[in-house]
């Protein structure tokens, strides 16, 4: 364990020793009074990589110069533009290239994937998820269940946290899976919980679900680009994620999907299909028969939104350069430093910060600020700290290792102290 200090010099020394320090300059920072803000909301919308604009400009230029010919003759032709994203993404999620595709947006993709992986029968129809899942996931599950003629109340089984605890226990999830047993059709959980920042034991939970014959899928919105993923080795059936949180691809941008290799090339899997999922060799022969591409691209429906894939591709090139291992190494140190700073400030102001994020975490810390209120949040925002506030008084702090510095953590601690003392 490194010995941390709550001191500016120490934080600056940590930055000087940081192998990722140069990446900070490759992102645009919002400014307040001419200074970079301290950005803690990379779990909501990642900062813009400076190179993203070039990638978008290239498409705009090709469109102006080539118009329809850009599909085949642009420098990066549009008809297979999406294929360029699969390789770097496969590394980020621990998959082989053919298991990954990019299309649509996250909630839309979860619906599409449910078509293939939620196939309830009278005997096997239940779904296990975490209690208080992200609202969009709850709406998605409820509407899918109703679509199949079941009632959400007898179908969706939520695993609860124990009384007085802020996190889910793997053993409770596994025993719920065993209990539902042959009635279980699907396990679908957010790999990293958006509220408390907990990283679920995806390997153990997937294994437990497979053992009772269920499909297992993961919503990786808060996991991708944040924590180590080995979707293929964990034997996950399917997963989906958005790209605008830790993946820095821009607001509302495209989603990625993972489909386990064992389902690829299967002609009769239930699936909603469109022309971008049929073999590209014969696609433009405009034949009536659908011939699925033998990769996750078979799930693509429409021709891809190239203008939005452009900044996603730009961002993935930064992930290629840095690699997940280096990113995670910095993440552990940076979030560890933030935790230390919170502890030090807590002593100085005699407040009670309660970190509700368990030890299994990525970069996010969710902190109960007992005795504090919305005024503190306003103070932080007015002093250049972009932070997320959830009622009653939880702040979510996600220092993304790509672009946040140790000095940011130190300065945040000072502002937090001033904010509390100025009341
Ligand atoms: C952010 C997030 C979403 C957002 O879905 P969109 O379809 O991209 O709007 C869905 N699920 C989870 C768990 C999220 O964290």
| Residue whose tokens read 């909603």 | 272
- Centre of ligand 1 to C-alpha 72, Å, is 33
- So what's the pLDDT on residue 329? 98
Q: Which residues line ligand 1 (CB under 6 A)?
A: 105-107, 134, 136-137, 190, 194, 219, 221-222, 242
Size of the chain, expressed as the number of residues it contains:
423
Query: How many Å separate Cα 201 from the centre of its chain?
Result: 16
Model confidence at 281, pLDDT cuts 50, 70, 90, reads confident
Q: How many CB atoms lie within 10 A of CB 29?
A: 16
Give the number of the atom of ligand 1 that is nearest the alpha carbon of residue 194. Answer: 15
- For the segment 333-358, what is each residue's pLDDT rounded down to a tens digit? 999 999 999 999 999 998 789 999 99
Residue nearest to atom 14 of ligand 1 (CA): 221
Give the number of the atom of ligand 1 that is nearest the alpha carbon of residue 44. Answer: 1
- For the segment 62-72, what is each residue's pLDDT rounded down to a tens digit? 999 999 999 99
Which residues are registered as beta bridge partners of 47? none
**How many Å apart are CA 94 and CA 402, to the nearest integer?**
19
- So what's the pLDDT on residue 412? 98
- Sign of the Cα torsion 386, 392, 398, 399 reads positive
**CA nearest neighbour of 391 among 402, 380, 377, 405:** 377
Mean pLDDT across the chain: 96
Three-state secondary structure along the chain?
Answer: CCCCCCCHHHHHHHHHCCCCHHHHHHECCCEECCEECEECECCCCCCCECCHHHHHHHHHHHHHHHHHHHHHHCCCCCCCCCHHHHHHHHHHHCCCHHHEEEECCHHHHHHHHHHHHCCCCCCCCEEEEECCCCHHHHHHHHHHHHHCCCCHHHHEEEECCCCCCCCCCHHHHHHHHHHHHHHEEEEEEECECCCCCEECCHHHHHHHHHHCCCEEEEECCCCCCCCCCCCCCCCCCEEEEECCCCCCCCCCCCEEEEECHHHCCCCCCCCCCCHHHECHHHHCCCCCCCCECCCHHHHCCCCCCHHHHHHHHHHHHHHHHHCHHHHHHHHHHHHHHHHHHHHHHHHHHCCEEEECCCCCECCCEEEEEECCCHHHHHHHHHCCEECEEECCCEEEEECCCCCCCHHHHHHHHHHHHHHHHCC
- So what's the pLDDT on residue 284? 84
pTM (predicted TM-score): 0.97
Domain 8-36+323-421: assigned CATH number: 3.90.1150.10
- Centre of ligand 1 to C-alpha 244, Å, is 10
- For the segment 6-27, what is each residue's pLDDT rounded down to a tens digit? 999 999 999 999 999 999 999 9
Residue nearest to atom 13 of ligand 1 (CA): 134
Give burial (CB, 10 Å; 0-12/13-18/19+) of 10: middle
Question: What's the average model confidence in pLDDT over 141-156?
Answer: 98
- Centre of ligand 1 to C-alpha 167, Å, is 20
Quick one: tokens of 245? 């949180």
Measuring CA to CA, how many Å separate 291 from each of 208, 278, 288? 34, 5, 10
- CATH number for 53-322 (one of 3.40.640.10, 3.30.70.120, 3.40.50.970, 3.30.559.10): it is 3.40.640.10
pLDDT at 1 over 80: no
Question: What's the average model confidence in pLDDT over 247-272?
Answer: 95
The rounded percent of the chain whose pLDDT value lies above 90 is: 92
Helix 306-322 to helix 83-93 angle (10° resolution) is 40
Residues 6+ apart with CB under 8 A from 178: 208, 212
- For the segment 162-214, what is each residue's pLDDT rounded down to a tens digit? 999 999 999 999 999 999 999 999 999 999 999 999 999 999 999 999 999 99
Give the number of the atom of ligand 1 that is nearest the alpha carbon of residue 190. Answer: 13
- For the segment 201-240, what is each residue's pLDDT rounded down to a tens digit? 999 999 999 999 999 999 999 999 999 999 999 999 999 9
Residues 6+ apart with CB under 8 A from 201: 170, 360
**How many Å apart are CA 246 and CA 213, to the nearest integer?**
33
Q: Where are the domains of the chain?
A: 8-36+323-421, 53-322
CB 234 within 8 A of CB 205: no
- Of 104, 105, 107, the residue with max ligand 1 atoms within 8 A of its CB, to mutate for a pocket test, comes to 107
The larger pLDDT score, comparing residue 316 to residue 371, is at 316
- For the segment 344-398, what is each residue's pLDDT rounded down to a tens digit? 999 999 878 999 999 999 999 999 998 888 889 999 999 999 999 988 889 999 9
- Centre of ligand 1 to C-alpha 73, Å, is 35
């Amino acid at each position: 364990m490194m010995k941390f200090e709550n001191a500016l010099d120490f934080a600056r020394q940590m930055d000087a020793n940081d192998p990722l320090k140069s990446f900070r300059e490759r992102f645009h920072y919002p400014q307040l009074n001419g200074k970079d803000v301290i950005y803690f909301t990379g779990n909501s919308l990642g900062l813009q990589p400076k190179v993203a604009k070039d990638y978008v400009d290239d498409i705009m230029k090709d469109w102006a110069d080539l118009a329809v010919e850009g599909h085949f003759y642009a420098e990066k032709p549009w008809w297979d533009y999406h294929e360029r994203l699969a390789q770097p993404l496969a590394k980020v999620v621990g998959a082989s290239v053919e298991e990954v595709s990019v299309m649509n947006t996250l909630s839309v993709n979860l619906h599409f994937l449910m078509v293939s992986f939620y196939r309830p029968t009278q005997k096997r129809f239940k779904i296990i998820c975490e209690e208080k899942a992200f609202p969009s996931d709850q709406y998605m599950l409820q509407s899918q269940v109703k679509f199949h003629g079941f009632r959400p109340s007898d179908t969706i089984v939520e695993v609860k946290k124990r009384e007085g605890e802020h996190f889910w226990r793997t053993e409770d999830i596994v025993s719920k899976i065993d209990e539902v047993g042959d009635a279980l059709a699907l396990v679908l959980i957010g790999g990293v919980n958006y509220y408390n920042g907990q990283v679920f034991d995806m390997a153990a939970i997937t294994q437990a679900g497979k053992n009772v014959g269920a499909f297992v899928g993961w919503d990786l919105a808060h996991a991708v680009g944040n924590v180590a993923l080995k979707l293929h080795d964990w034997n996950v059936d399917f997963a989906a994620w958005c790209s605008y949180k830790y993946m820095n691809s821009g607001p509302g941008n495209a989603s990625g999907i993972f489909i386990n290799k064992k389902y690829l090339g299967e002609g009769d899997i239930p699936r909603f299909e469109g022309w971008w999922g049929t073999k590209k060799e014969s696609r433009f022969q405009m034949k009536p028969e659908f011939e699925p591409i033998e990769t996750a691209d078979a799930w693509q429906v429409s021709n891809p939104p190239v203008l939005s894939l452009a900044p996603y591709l730009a961002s993935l090139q930064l992930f290629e350069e840095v690699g997940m291992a280096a990113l995670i190494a910095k993440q552990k140190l940076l979030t560890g430093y933030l935790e230390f700073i919170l502890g030090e400030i807590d002593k100085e102001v005699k407040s009670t910060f309660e970190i509700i994020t368990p030890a299994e975490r990525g970069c996010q810390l969710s902190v109960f600020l007992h005795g504090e209120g919305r005024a503190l949040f306003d103070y932080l925002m007015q002093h250049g700290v972009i932070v997320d506030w959830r009622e009653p008084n939880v702040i979510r702090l996600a220092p993304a290792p790509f672009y946040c510095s140790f000095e940011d953590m130190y300065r945040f601690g000072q502002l937090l102290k001033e904010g509390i003392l100025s009341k």
